[in-house]
Amino acid sequence: MKQACATLPKTLRLLALAVALSPMLAAMPVLADDYSDVNQLLRGGKFSDALAKADQYLQGKPRDPQMRFIKGVVQSESGKPFDAIATFTKLTEDYPELPEPYNNLAVLYAGQNQLDKARTALEMAIRTNPSYTTAHENLGDVYAKLASQAYAKALQLDANNNAVQPKLALIRELFAPAGKGQRPGTTVAATPIPTQAPVPTTPTSKPPPVVTPVSPLPPPVLVPISPAPPPATTPAVAPAAGSKDVENAVHAWASAWAAKDMTGYLNAYGKEFDTPGNQSRQSWEEERRKRILGKSSISVKLHDLTVTVKGNTATARFKQEYAANSLSASSRKTLEMSKVGERWLIVKEHSGS
Amino acid sequence: MFVLPPSRALLAFLFAVIFGAFLPASLAAEGVRQSRLKSTTTESDISTLATSDLSAARRDGQAEAKLLEVYRLIGQGQILPALKQAEALVKAHPNFQLAQLVYGDLLSSRSRPLRILGDVPDTTARIAAPVLGELREESQMRIKALRERPPAGTVPSQFLRLSSRNRHAIAVDASRSRLYLFENTSSGLQMIADYYISVGKLGVEKSVEGDLRTPLGVYFITSTISQRKLKDLYGAGALPINYPNPLDTRRGKTGSGIWLHGTPSAQFARPPKASDGCVVLANPDLEFIMNTVEIRNTPVVIAPSLKWVPPQSILPEVSVFEGVLQSWRTAKSTGNLPRTLSFYAPDFNNEGQNLSAWTSIVQKEMTKAAGREIALKDLSVLRWTDNGTDTMVVTFGEVIEGTITGPKKRQYWVRQGNQWKIFFEGIIG
């Protein structure tokens, strides 16, 4: 890692040169490295290193929301809630249209049992982005918690057993801040090599904005992309072999969810499933169990499902309409799938704006 | 896009069912608030008001008004405004348990349908069943008090005549968990406030010490006790009343220490039946009463349920009785001892003094009057009927013509057959 730190500035300088040389090249390729580098340090528990790297980057680009967001996540995970709150708060001031910082503020406030602040932050998140499922689910949790506190006061029950603060779901990635409808692209402009200049301008739907969501996936994302348009971003790609199987797997997963079939639902996720919020697999499963079984009825409908298969990995993107009890929300979703034996399993799941 | 729950009309209906089929928007919320807004600072009242109260905004009854507003909004299906109001209410009164319950319900309603007022999880409902039941009862009482108002222009049937010395009067309806405060104006008794109250744990009709019941009858406030002299349980202060009164004593009733008092700091209001016999009010309400009424001159009628009558309808009854009273006065004025004594019941008793003992007092007073006319100043007459017994509680200043003052007296008359007899007479000031 130290070496990476040492080489980074060099890469940056290279990049600067490349930028000067090639107007077509957006700055992302090297940035992609930085974001995922910090994320990797974070996952490895190397918080001070992650923080240092982030700060280093931010010296050059102090306003960069993506890195600031990641820094906030690092601070939060490393047990510095007040610093994290400051980071996210500043982000909400500079980029009030982003729901993710609000959501994470809510998570931090809830952790401090400041439920009213958590509620306000989540309501802001939803205001900027009404279909953001995570914020809705978190808000439902906050409401339930506030309700149980009010009930405890009403019935003069010992409120001490309310000491367990609701654990809300932290969002780990900042998605496209400019414009709704952006889906997290897994392969957007992910090349570190300046010579790949044309790549970012391949006819993907829209030119990626300055700060593109970059998912902290392992190397495949960073592999220099051939001049051929990255298949994943083109909806019109011919159905590859296996895409039908992927579709079936996705539908089976949605059906299990709606039927509250926990076995079927959880089995749709692979062993290497990237659990959100740095949770252990077990605690993630428990949370899903609670959330799903706790509803009297669930309806999950998928629309505009597009599947792209690349060997043993696939990406499924769709519009998800979710309704449970008196809540309903529709959002875009992406499932990264991986083929294990004969089955397609989910290894990553994210909602988008 | 985030979608609201299906049918707002359905939701409104649901809430109406939950909160007791309440609240077409036209319900008398406005009427109640108007009576609340009427100013009490008339000239005649200045002397009875603590100076600090003259400029203070009225805080009595406000918490309940806000709660009823929340109910009203719920009934109209305006859940978010209701939630906002409920939130403000519990912030102002965190110890208002009923408000917290409603607030909890409104929060819960954001993610699931409500089944009942106080829709707590089943385990909690089991543990807290008694408290939950009491809160629902309190809620029903408050709603009922809003829906069912005393008819305009009526007064409780006990108030036959009040004097200008009785600036205020109080009546308690135990079945409604309600206390009504009146101002005695030049145009008669006007209700100026009404409040939710609690009575004894075992209800009403106190008869013995420790029976956890609130007494029924005509009483007077005897004194006032300030907060600093009292335990937290009594809240903002206390107004003791004269239980046992002479009628209670005649009936052999025991017990003491019946007060109007406030609530402890942990509770804004208590369940409808909660006390050891006292009448309990929320602190802002009690404070207003303490700052408004004059001790010793304020009657407190406590009835199982009040009968509201137009004042004019009482007049015939008043005049019949006052005819008898005047006969007694005349007999005494003319120094006619036997005739005077004929108005007294054989079992007359004033704290151990029987009729023959009292006779010497009557004689002394007659001698003092020396044939001069005796006037009954500041006369008040209250009627109390129960268990087939009719009584009159009469208060006056017995002033000999040509003098300025005389003893303040209270008489208790009982109807025996078709005659009225005095079974208690005492000097009270």
Residue B118: closest C-alpha in chain A:
A151
Using CA atoms, how far apart are residues A233 and A184, in angstroms rounded to an integer?
10
Q: Which residues of A touch B111 (CB under 8 A)?
A: 140, 143-144, 325-327
Confidence category of residue A161, pLDDT binned at 50, 70, 90: low
Q: Are B66 and B59 in contact (CB under 8 A)?
A: no
Q: In what order do the strands lie in the sheet with A327-340?
A: A298-310, A313-324, A327-340, A343-352
Query: Pick the residue with more confidence: A219 or A278?
Result: A278
* Secondary structure element (H or E) that encloses residue B87, with its range: helix B79-92
B63: closest CA among B238, B272, B286?
Answer: B286
Closest of A334, A154, A89, A166 to residue B111, by C-alpha:
A166
Domain final residue, candidates A163, A188, A218: A163
Chain B residues touching residue A147 (CB < 8 angstroms): 104-105, 107-108
Taking 60 as the threshold, does the pLDDT of residue A193 lie above it?
no
Whether residue A241 is predicted with pLDDT greater than 80 in this model: the reply is no
By Cβ distance, the residue of A131, A156, A323 closest to B1 is: A131
**A155 & A250 share domain:** no
Q: Quick one: closest CA in B to A138, which residue?
A: B111
Q: Is residue A79 part of a domain?
A: yes
From B149's Cα to the closest Cα of chain A, the distance in A is 28
pLDDT tens digits for range B331-357: 999 999 999 999 999 999 999 999 999
Instruction: Give the N- to C-terminal CA distance of chain A in Å, as an integer.
Output: 33
A214 lies in some domain: no
Note whether A325 contacts B97, CB cutoff 8 Å. no
> What's the CA gap between B277 and B203, in Å, rounded?
8
- The answer to whether A326 faces chain B, any CB pair under 8 Å, is yes
d(CA A210, CA A207): 9
- Domain end among A163, A189, A215: A163
Mean pLDDT, chain A, rounded, equals 74
Residue B23 banded pLDDT, cuts 50, 70, 90? very low
Q: From the CA of B106, how many Å to the nearest CA of chain A? A: 8
A301 in a domain, yes or no?
Answer: yes
Span of A67-76, A102-111, B38-47 with lowest mean pLDDT: B38-47
Residue A176: its pLDDT value, please? 58
Say which of B111, B124, B135 has its CB closest to residue A327. B111
**A293 vs B182, residue with greater confidence:** B182
B5 touches chain A (CB under 8 A): yes
Kindly state whether A146 is in contact with chain B, defined as any CB-CB distance less than 8 angstroms: yes
B112 contacts chain A (CB < 8 A): yes
- Of the ranges A108-122, A279-293, A307-321, B98-112, which one carries the lowest mean pLDDT score? A279-293
B271 contact A CB<8A = no
Q: Which of A47-61, A120-134, B220-234 has the lowest mean pLDDT?
A: A120-134
Q: Which residue in chain B has the smallest CA separation from A126?
A: B2
pLDDT over 90 (residue A232)? no
CA dist list (Å): B136 to A69, A179, B50, B140, B142:
48, 49, 36, 6, 10
Point out the least confidently predicted range of A135-149, A179-193, B168-182. A179-193
Question: Is the CB of A154 less than 8 angstroms away from the CB of B97?
Answer: yes
Helix segments in B169-241, DSSP class H: none
Whether residue B132 has pLDDT greater than 90: yes
CA distances from B133 to A250, B72, B193, B271 (A): 49, 22, 27, 9
ipTM over 0.90: no
pLDDT at position A315 is 92
Nearest CB to A153; choose among B97, B112, B113:
B97
Mention every residue, 6+ apart, whose C-beta is less than 8 A from residue A206: none
What one-letter code names the amino acid at A1?
A: M
- Minimal Cβ distance to A329: which of B2, B100, B109: B2
pLDDT band at B56 (very low <50, low <70, confident <90, very high): low
Nearest-neighbour CA in chain B from A129: distance (Å) = 9
Q: Are residues A250 and A154 in the same domain?
A: no
CB contact B135 to A (< 8 Å): yes
Last residue of a domain, one of A145, A163, A181: A163
Let me know whether A155 and A62 are in one domain: yes
A136 touches chain B (CB under 8 A): yes
Give just the sign of the alpha carbon dihedral B154, B156, B162, B164. negative
Q: Domain for residue A119, yes or no?
A: yes
Shared-domain flag, residues A157 and A14: yes
| A222 in Cβ contact with A33 (< 8 Å) | yes
Taking an 8 Å cut-off on Cβ atoms, the answer to whether B1 and A144 are in contact is no
What is d(CA B118, CA A150) in angstroms, rounded to the nearest whole number? 10
CA B112, CA B106: separation in Å to the nearest integer? 10
pLDDT band at residue A230 under the 50/70/90 scheme: very low
A126 shares contact with chain B (CB less than 8 Å): yes
In chain B, what's the furthest Cα-to-Cα distance? 95
The CATH code of the domain that includes A320 is: 3.10.450.50
Structure token digits, residue B324: 């008898």
More confident residue, B210 or B429: B210
Distance of alpha carbon B92 from alpha carbon B114, whole angstroms? 25
Q: How far is CA A143 from CA A135, A136, A295, B71, B105, in A?
A: 12, 10, 15, 20, 10
Which residue in A139, A155, A326 is closest to B113 by CB distance?
A: A326
Is the pLDDT assigned to residue A302 strictly greater than 50?
A: yes
A99 touches chain B (CB under 8 A): no
Q: Which domains does chain B have, with CATH numbers?
A: 8-147 (no CATH), 155-309 (2.40.440.10), 311-427 (3.10.450.50)
pLDDT of residue A64: 93
Q: Is residue A179 part of a domain?
A: no
CB pairs under 8 A between A and B: 83
Q: How far is A294 from chain B (nearest CA, A)?
A: 11
**In the predicted structure, residue A44 carries a pLDDT above the cut 50:** yes
Residues of chain A in contact with residue B100, where contact means CB-CB under 8 angstroms, are: 150-151, 153-154
Same domain, A128 and A255: no
What per-residue confidence (pLDDT) applies to A164? 62
Determine the average pLDDT of the residues in A176-198.
36
Per-residue model confidence (pLDDT) at position A267: 87
Which position has the higher pLDDT, B193 or A200? B193
Q: Are residues A126 and A249 in the same domain?
A: no
- Give A3 to chain B, closest Cα distance, Å: 47
Q: Which residue has the higher pLDDT, B61 or A226?
A: B61
**Do residue A154 and residue B111 have CB atoms under 8 angstroms apart?**
no
Whether A134 and A265 share a structural domain: no
* CA B62/CA B282 separation, integer angstroms: 11
| Confidence (pLDDT) at A220 | 32
Mean pLDDT of A80-90: 95
A321 vs chain B: nearest CA distance in angstroms?
Answer: 9
Residue A77 belongs to domain spanning: 2-163
CATH number at residue A156: 1.25.40.10
> Which positions in chain A touch B110 (Cβ < 8 Å)?
139-140, 143, 326
The residue with greater pLDDT, B384 or A238, is B384
Check if B411 contacts A (Cβ < 8 Å): no
Alpha carbons A269 and B357: distance in angstroms, whole number: 99
User: A326 vs B108: CB contact, 8 Å cut-off?
Assistant: no
Which residue carries 């930085």 as its tokens? A34
Contact indicator for B191, B185 with CB cutoff of 8 Å: no
- Name which of A124, A291, A326 to mutate to probe chain B: the one with the most chain B Cβ atoms within 10 A of its Cβ: A326
Looking at every residue in chain B, the average pLDDT score rounds to: 88
| Chain A residues with beta carbon closer than 8 angstroms to that of B131 | 154-156
CB contact under 8 A, A157 and B104: no
In chain B, the percentage of residues whose pLDDT exceeds 70 is: 87
**Number of structural domains in chain A:** 2
A59 touches chain B (CB under 8 A): no
DSSP state of B150: P
The whole-angstrom distance between B97's CA and the closest CA on chain A is: 4
Q: What is the pLDDT of residue B114?
A: 83
Scanning every residue of chain B, which has its alpha carbon at the shortest distance from the alpha carbon of A136?
B2
CB neighbours of A208 closer than 8 A, spacing ≥ 6? Answer: A26, A28, A185, A188, A189, A200
Q: Is the residue at A201 inside a domain?
A: no
pLDDT tens digits, B223-254: 999 999 999 999 999 999 999 999 999 999 99
- In-domain check, residue A98: yes
Cβ within 8 Å, pair B124-A157? yes
Q: With 50 as the cut, is the pLDDT of residue B21 above it?
A: no
Residue B108: the pLDDT is 92
**Quick check: A151 and B104 CB within 8 A?**
yes
Q: How confident is the model at residue B124 (pLDDT cuts 50, 70, 90)?
A: confident
Chain A CB within 8 Å of residue B128 CB: yes
To the nearest whole angstrom, how far is the Cα of B187 from the nearest Cα of chain A?
44
> Do A148 and A39 fall within a single domain?
yes
Lowest-pLDDT choice from A23-32, A173-182, B68-77, B284-293 = A23-32
A106 and A10 co-located in one domain:
yes
Question: Percent of chain A, pLDDT > 90?
Answer: 29
Report the gap between the CA of B390 and the closest CA in chain A (Å): 44
Q: Across residues A12-27, what is the average pLDDT?
A: 43
User: Does A197 score more than 70 pLDDT?
Assistant: no
* Spatial separation of the C-alpha atoms in residues B87 and B100, rounded to whole Å: 9
* C-alpha span between B421 and B398 (Å, rounded): 18
A148 and B266 within 8 Å at the Cβ level: the answer is: no
Note whether A143 and B110 are within 8 A (CB). yes
- pLDDT (0 to 100) of residue A159: 59
Please check the confidence at residue B180 and state whether its pLDDT lies above 90. Answer: yes
Pairs from B91-96 (Cβ < 8 Å, separation ≥ 24): B92/B63, B92/B66, B93/B63, B93/B268, B94/A153, B95/A153, B95/B265, B95/B266, B95/B267, B95/B268, B96/B63, B96/B67, B96/B268, B96/B269
In whole angstroms, what is the distance from residue B301 CA to residue B277 CA? 15
Range B267-279 average pLDDT? 97
* pLDDT, position A272: 83
pLDDT higher than threshold 70 for residue B54: no
Segments of B27-129 assigned E as strands: none
Any domain includes A80:
yes
What local confidence, expressed as pLDDT, does residue A244 receive? 85
Contacts of B101 in chain A (CB under 8 A): 150-151, 154-155
